[in-house]
Structure 1
Amino acid sequence: MLLKPINIYATVGMWSEVAKVRKAMDDKRVVKKPGLSWIEIKRKVHIFLVGDKSHPKSYEIHNFLGKLSRRIKEEGYVPDTNFVLHDVEEEQKEQNLSDHSKKLAVALGIISTPSGTPIKVFKNLRTCVDCHKAIKFISKIVQRRIIVRDSNRFHSSESGSCSCGDYW
């Protein structure tokens, strides 16, 4: 599979090799399955891709996420940029992480439901390390139970800890 070498090369900063593999993928018309997250609110499903700005509440979602990001950093959260597999500056890596689809779905859930309501998000791929860590901090700050069903298991974060015990 061509995707594994991309991740391996990118993790160690071999960007020219990443480019070669991506070109080979393009030549062979291999398409990577996009990561997406969704949440159901009032019987309506809201779907997000990374960096999504197409939602009618996009401005509110991104504004809320910005405020939330500052609060979780004050609580000790440090973005884990080791898993941003693109050759960009550190600041851009942090921005890329803040726009992950799961964080967008969680933010919509928080701003669209009454305080205390559990947030339930679904993810078509495995949860990334940074999102897992951020969701735990978010659950503590907003005092909500945040349940995420990814491709491997359920994660139920509450008061800053996850049901998986940080093993997934």
Structure 2
Amino acid sequence: MYCKCGSLEEADALFQRMPERDVISWSTMISGLAQNGRSADSLGLFESMKAIGPKPNYITIVGVLFACSHAGLVEEGWYYFRSMEKLFGIEPGREHYGCMVDLLGRAGKLEEAVKFIHAMNFKPDSVIWRTLLGACRVHRNVNLAAYAAKEILKLEPGDEGTYILLSNIYADSQQWSDVGQVRKAMRDRGVRKEPGRSWLEVGKKIHVFIVGDMSHPNMDCIIKELNQLVGRITHLGYVPNTDFVLHDLGQEQKEESLRYHSEKLAIAFGIMNSTRGKPIRIMKNLRICGDCHAFAKLVAQTEDKTIVIRDPVRFHHFQDGVCSCGDYW
């Protein structure tokens, strides 16, 4: 529970107090550290498990490969993947293969990832292809993205995430005609884009912020606080990164669009209602964009706050102007 909430200090304290640690507790801690940007600690704990703990199981190795993937440890990931059956008697499964595709994709080794997919001893599912598609967006490989999206839509013709991600990849490259074709296909299939939303708990109540929704009763104060935050971090060199605006707009409109992303509104509201010494914890339904990531780092620095944002894949712990992911996510 503590790991899933991003509360690693509490999780580690409980883990250390346990009189007996079974394979589940070891695996949970290894995965929790990895998901919170502490890959080195995760792999260190795995080495301790091999020395003094129970025999690692299927889930343990998934956590280890996740740690390698999110830290760019390609050689280490290959070692653990290739040796898991020999050392622990664990045959690689779909989750392990998925982690390896993620590892190679994040590292920019996209062609190697494709070869790996085609060499698998089972037919790749939509999760495998979606992992590759996500890597194509990070590294702006439009042609491979179109190929991966085609494979996904063969398996899941109505998958909204694939249409949206492909549209965003085309938009990143300013291929607006291709963006239009994807959006037309979405309309024809009745596929709707899920809006970005962020939420946090304040005063035992969940406050939700959605892109384009200004209905929060304190929105005027939130926008005022947000504008003040932008002003303060601008002195530290913050410049809105309009590369993350995926619409064909003018520069001023792009900057305006970026300013009111849901996580920025949530951060501003969290700052307004924060308690000294307590982190601001925010959940997100979509991957955090690069501009909001830079914004959160600088706000954490200027406001002397710890900001924890959980997106669909991992936690980002922002403190003193840096993020636990090391800007590798």
Structure showing greater radius of gyration is 2
Distance in 1, Cα, partners of 2:172 & 2:234: 24
- CA RMSD of the aligned region, Å? 1.3
TM-aligned CA deviation for residue 91 of structure 1: 1.1
Mean Cα deviation higher: 3-12 or 54-63: 3-12
Q: 1:18 aligns with which of 179, 192, 206?
A: 179
Matches within 5 A, 1:1-168: 1-168=162-329
The amino acid of 2:189's aligned partner reads: K
Distance in 1, Cα, partners of 2:279 & 2:240: 24
Q: Secondary structure at the match of 1:2?
A: helix
TM-aligned CA deviation for residue 21 of structure 1: 1.7
Q: Is the 8 A contact 1:146 1:156 kept in 2?
A: yes
The amino acid of 2:250's aligned partner reads: E
TM-aligned CA deviation for residue 79 of structure 1: 1.2
Larger % of strand: which? 1
Normalising by structure 1, we get a TM-score of 0.94
Q: Secondary structure at the match of 1:31?
A: coil
Q: Secondary structure at the match of 2:170?
A: helix
Percentage of matched positions with identical amino acids: 49
Mean Cα deviation higher: 152-161 or 11-20: 11-20
Q: Which runs of 5+ in 2 are unaligned?
A: 1-161
Q: Secondary structure at the match of 1:24?
A: helix
Larger % of helix: which? 2
List per-residue Cα deviations over 1:77-101 (Å, max 9, x = no partner). Answer: 1211112110101111111111000
Q: Secondary structure at the match of 1:40?
A: strand
Q: Which runs of 5+ in 1 are unaligned?
A: none
CA 166–113 in structure 1, closer or farther in 2 if over 3 Å, else same: same
Distance in 1, Cα, partners of 2:200 & 2:275: 15
The amino acid of 2:317's aligned partner reads: S
Distance in 1, Cα, partners of 2:212 & 2:303: 22
Distance in 2, Cα, partners of 1:2 & 1:157: 31
Mean Cα deviation higher: 40-49 or 28-37: 28-37
Aligned residues: 168
Normalising by structure 2, we get a TM-score of 0.49
